[in-house]
Each structure stands twice: as structure tokens, then as C-alpha cells.
Amino acid sequence: MRDKTASVSTAKPDEGSLELTEELIRVRAYQLYEKRGCEHGHDFEDWLQAEAEIFGKKPATAAEAGDTKGESRTAVA
């Protein structure tokens, strides 16, 4: 009989932690919007910047993130 407990590597993150992370991103993106003087039209860029700051990654440009052609992208340092 197989053990019914999930292993650490296959366990899903706690739903509450996902909601908290999304809320942190949302708040930071709004701060970036306010910092810009509440200029509209940069919401996607603000979201990507907030994600990058929270996850500690280099922010993607809007063009890179919006690539829907299915082409592979290479990281540029």
C-alpha cells in the first residue's frame, strides 16, 4: 500500500501564502504607479517590476513578457 502523504517536492504551496504573495505584488505595483505620479498605461510594467522585486529576479520588459508567438527567448545579461 502506498503512503498517502505528499512528499515535500510535490506538495502544493499553501493557498494562503499564494494569496499573500499576490497581495504583496499588488501593493508594490500600486506604489510604483503612485511613484510615477499616477500615470496610467504602465500597469503591466508595474506588475512585472513588483514581481521581480519580490522574487528577487531581474524584471522582464513588457515586450519580453508579452511575447505570444511561442518563440523561445534567451536571457540577456
| Beta-carbon contacts of residue 57 (< 8 Å; ≥ 6 apart) | 51
Could you tell me the pLDDT band of residue 31, with boundaries at 50, 70 and 90?
A: very high
| DSSP-based three-state secondary structure for 17 | helix
**Grid cell for residue 31:** 506604489
Q: What pLDDT, in 10s, does the model give residues 5-18?
A: 544 444 455 667 88
Confidence at 60, pLDDT banded by 50, 70, 90: low
Return the higher-pLDDT residue of 29 and 13: 29
Give me the pLDDT at residue 14, please: 67
Q: Mean pLDDT over residues 31-58, rounded?
A: 94
Q: What is the pLDDT of residue 70?
A: 45
Domain spans, the chain = 15-62
